[in-house]
Amino acid sequence: MKKKPFVTKEQLEDIVKQYPTPFHLYDEKGIRENARKVKQAFSWNKGYKEYFAVKATPNPYILQILHEEGFGCDCSSFTELMMSEACGITGEEIMFSSNATPAKEFEYARELGAIINLDDITHIDFLEQHGGIPETISCRYNPGGVFKMSNGIMDNPGDAKYGLTTEQMFEAFRILKQKGAKHFGIHAFLASNTVTNEYYPALAKVLFELAVKLKEETGADIKFINLSGGVGIPYRPDQDPNDILAIGEGVRKVYEEILVPAGMGDVALCTEMGRFILGPYGGLITTAIHEKHTHKEYIGCDACAANLMRPAIYGAYHHITVMGKENEPCDHKYDVTGSLCENSDKFAIDRMLPKIDMGDLLFIHDAGAHGFAMGYNYNGKLRSAEILLQEDGSAKMIRRAETPEDLYATFDFSEFKFPFDRWYE
């Protein structure tokens, strides 16, 4: 399978005239189409709700687009709650899933009327003191052990800091009922970036069986079950993508096998996808500005790991298209690098690509989630702009690039005078 950018070279060249590289570019048309497909996949469940994982792409313009498509927000911090509120997303359209949570964050979540998803049994008393116990509340489940499937996809819940044990789930529900909770949710996240249609149905089976037992043994009213995220994307061109319609159908079968016979056919389902919703619909756009011929062949870009750190910290693969050379042979082997003082600052190692000339625009694929969001300022690098390719083909800046004034704004300017006039756009 050949990965194709969602933008043409001509479109990019026009955008670059107004917004210099590097920048993150998002495809509104693709985002909306994918959002509608996700809703279609779970349309059989009357109460279904997707809570977009804000941490994946924390931009209010993106949240607004998804809210227009019927999505809520999955928040995990004070500032994510703040962004959600700024977009008019409040109440039960927010799922607040946090861990080691400061008091003021629980208090803010309660003020907004968010659904709180507790990460630990000790948080019950803490929440009661800082915001109070709501009538509807959720608990995050961690079954321990290793979550392994026949296709080799696995994660290690037993080594994860998140969630309650099986025994604690039952105890927590009883305690919460005594403290006034009336409606309950169950949440679990057991594997990350799975590229298989079997993950959600397998997770659903675990949670549905637990839900039946919790209802039977505690009398709790299970209002919703949250399958969280974990549905991944094919970063490599030879990977087959997930089929969200097949995934939804797989979950439906398990729902009808386990919940319906138990008299729980009215339980709503939730998801909290980030990567699947946004990943393929964002790219990092950068310009080749240097070439180096030493022990290897290097291409130096004006973007670096500060703009997209996944390759540097995970060794993650991100496909690269040299714009305008999509049909040329990939007969040159390059390390594609940024300018950080770190040897791991490489977008690609020994990657076969067409010959790259200085000034070529590179489209780094699948940077729409956990791309800009994980950026940082090491080496004094300034975080780049975010641009939205709107449905009509026009480009809109949805976050400007940082300036030196932004970087140094927390210093006391009465003590230090920075030569900001030396900065050039």
Q: Which of the residues are catalytic?
A: 341
Helix H or strand E segment including 285: strand 282-293
Minimal CA–CA distance to 278: which of 398, 153, 115, 118? 398
Specify burial of residue 15 (Cβ count, 10 A radius: 0-12, 13-18, 19+): buried
Helix H or strand E segment including 322: strand 320-322
> Which pair of tokens denotes residue 200?
């959600």
Helix H or strand E segment including 67: helix 60-68
> Which pair of tokens denotes residue 333?
């082997």
The Cα 165–Cα 178 span in angstroms is 20
Render the burial of 339-369: b for 16+ CB within 10 Å, e for the rest.
bbeeeebbbbeebebbebeeebbbbbbbbbb
The three-state DSSP-derived secondary structure of 80-115 is HHHHHHHCCCCHHHEEEECCCCCHHHHHHHHHHCCE
The Cα 320–Cα 352 span in angstroms is 10
Specify burial of residue 404 (Cβ count, 10 A radius: 0-12, 13-18, 19+): middle
